[in-house]
Chains A and B, each alone.
Chain A
């Protein structure tokens, strides 16, 4: 069982970027893990939570707990969704001893993808090859709530053919913010445009990140601006040969 992981692929990857999920599974398998995808999984509940609807969030979170409570490791290709479970479920279930207990047992088994590779699997070099210049976007929740900063860069440093060029605004929010992106479209879009200016200045052919929601925002803005810069999840780089 030690080499067994359950993949929580996140709703956005499931519905919009299945190729990222495939890359995540490939990389985990390459690292020696048997990957299980519990089919009843859906979402962590963050959209409702961040919009202030806690009752509705609890319903989704309870389902999440039921699906994953027996998993050895839950690997999540998103800093934001991991943070939702790790940092907010306890507060949501403060008055529900059974769910609270379930949450507390699950938290130490929740792993963001890059952290899992480095801290559990103990691998840095996945034998990947990617010929090109990339820049790295630090997703806010990954960076500030999950302290993901050097890890992905270390993983990228072993990718053959890859040159990492840091952008000046790597830690600046891309403007996605869940429902914020559609409640305040002008502000959100403005933030995205500031972000892609910084990406553009690096001359990179792709921006890499660990959260597909931010990458959707960034790539959406790049595409709208007619810029042929790709937005790739870290797993996609690590899976390429």
Chain B
């Protein structure tokens, strides 16, 4: 276990405005979800979770088969499938495509996979003009923030901050009414849609048996992104596969409900390639980029493979008391909350941010709401074990391991444990008058004790432990 960068969390923890914004927004999402998964409206909710979990695990166990099937079906309809090992291969492909099409402006619908590879920044470096068209993502692009939340990327911003961002970036009057702000964005973005050469989307699901991609959204911007420009490129991780179109019945019932508390999102689009003869709309060309970027490494790990089941609903973030305290920007990567803490170390390596799997009280609220039943606390526990191994040469880990070795030895020697316990009385300092103390003697005020005392009081150690009391009690009973 590594040293903890607690200073990282000081800013969000002491920002009252942010605390309120995050706690109330996630609280609303929790309440809405609870209403729509209630047994009175969705009696088979738990069965749906079981089905979804099994379908995802089955797909991952047979990913090679389904990937091939998907590729075959997409290619048969004239689409092109491109496998990319990492973000730089995606960028190379897109830059080449843009040159071929003499394209400059690229509209984008919301995609965490493109956030994962910092696609916008890379495209801008190549003098291309990517424009986010999801309202939240558009605000973030103007403000140069990264997503605060998987589903609600601008969850941390108030309408007053949005007003400032719009007026300073778009040269409009400061407008604080959300509906009016939406109109401003809509006006700017309509222009972009009509003049864009390429549209980039993500994909919520890739359907192997029909060679289609599915997009769920509420704003309609994904529909425009995928149909208005002449070229549509969808970018998705290889784990987004599901076997059959009929499986969507399971996943669509769960995704909207878990994410935003909607029985269904406003728009659900099934896209099976470019416009065909006789069709009146749709792009001329369709490309599907299938991204690895570390996913095959996770796939190879039997114990933690289930991490790839995630359908990015964000429910684990909303229900995580740690996420609700520190917010999405305290996490080192674009994926935050419990799922971020689980996949970041697996994608980026255990030594990059080794503290991350430890930043959880293991309360299990995440696993309880996960629509695909990812065992998040168990995965965090496994990662803690792995991190300790990876960090075994570090001084902090050596010391901590030594402490736990000594502790384990002591717990195997009950008499010594009893004696050690009886000495805890030396800690007793100021009694707060209620049997608790707010500080320990100066010399003791280090490490874990200091950390404890920084936040809360500690009980004054009792004169006698339970085992000592029991000895007298047992004796009394025998008399």
- A177 interface residue, CB < 8 Å from B? yes
Chain A residues lying within 8 Å of B462, measured Cβ to Cβ, are 15-19
Q: Which residue of A lies closest to B470 (CB)?
A: A37
Which listed residue, A16, A51, A53, A224, touches B459 by the CB 8 Å rule?
A16
Is B364's CB under 8 angstroms from A145's CB?
A: yes
Q: In the assembly, what is the distance between CA of A192 and CA of B474, in Å?
A: 38
Chain A residues lying within 8 Å of B381, measured Cβ to Cβ, are 49-50, 52
Chain A residues lying within 8 Å of B359, measured Cβ to Cβ, are 180, 184, 187
Contact with A along B466-477 (1 / 0, CB 8 A): 111111011000
Chain B residues lying within 8 Å of A109, measured Cβ to Cβ, are none
Is A21's CB under 8 angstroms from B469's CB?
A: yes
Is B469's CB under 8 angstroms from A185's CB?
A: no
Is A40's CB under 8 angstroms from B414's CB?
A: yes
- The total number of A-B Cβ pairs within 8 Å is 209
- B315 interface residue, CB < 8 Å from A? no
- B343 interface residue, CB < 8 Å from A? no
Q: Which residue of B lies closest to A188 (CB)?
A: B455
Is A221's CB under 8 angstroms from B456's CB?
A: yes
Q: In the assembly, what is the distance between CA of A221 and CA of B456, in Å?
A: 5
Is A180's CB under 8 angstroms from B358's CB?
A: yes
Which of A54-62, A100-108, A114-122, A154-162 makes up part of the contact surface?
A: A54-62
Chief secondary structure at chain B's binding surface:
helix
- B419 interface residue, CB < 8 Å from A? no
Query: For window 437-478 of chain B, which residues contact chain A by CB distance below 8 Å?
Result: 438, 447-448, 451-452, 454-459, 461-462, 464-471, 473-474
Chief secondary structure at chain A's binding surface:
helix
Chain B residues lying within 8 Å of A45, measured Cβ to Cβ, are 408, 411
Chain B residues lying within 8 Å of A54, measured Cβ to Cβ, are 385
Q: In the assembly, what is the distance between CA of A171 and CA of B145, in Å?
A: 33
Contact with B along A172-196 (1 / 0, CB 8 A): 1101111111111111111110100
Q: Residues of A within 8 Å of B, CB-based: how many?
A: 66
- B387 interface residue, CB < 8 Å from A? yes
Give A173 Cβ to nearest chain B Cβ, in Å: 4
Q: Residues of B within 8 Å of A, CB-based: how many?
A: 68
- B417 interface residue, CB < 8 Å from A? yes
Q: Which residue of B lies closest to A41 (CB)?
A: B414
Chain A residues lying within 8 Å of B404, measured Cβ to Cβ, are 47-48, 51, 53, 56
Chain A residues lying within 8 Å of B468, measured Cβ to Cβ, are 18
Chain B residues lying within 8 Å of A43, measured Cβ to Cβ, are 411
Which of B174-182, B265-273, B320-328 makes up part of the contact surface?
A: B320-328
Which of A128-136, A202-210, A212-220 makes up part of the contact surface?
A: A212-220
- A233 interface residue, CB < 8 Å from B? no
- A150 interface residue, CB < 8 Å from B? no
Q: Which residue of A lies closest to B414 (CB)?
A: A40
Q: Which residue of B lies closest to A180 (CB)?
A: B361
Q: In the assembly, what is the distance between CA of A19 and CA of B219, in Å?
A: 59
Beyond contacts A42-B412, A60-B412: 18 other A-B pairs, Cβ-Cβ < 8 A, are: A18-B462, A22-B469, A25-B473, A47-B407, A51-B1, A52-B386, A52-B388, A53-B388, A56-B404, A59-B411, A63-B411, A173-B321, A173-B365, A191-B322, A219-B436, A220-B456, A223-B434, A224-B457
**Leading 10 A-B pairs by shortest Cβ distance:** A177-B361, A189-B455, A52-B384, A220-B456, A173-B363, A21-B466, A18-B466, A140-B363, A182-B448, A182-B451
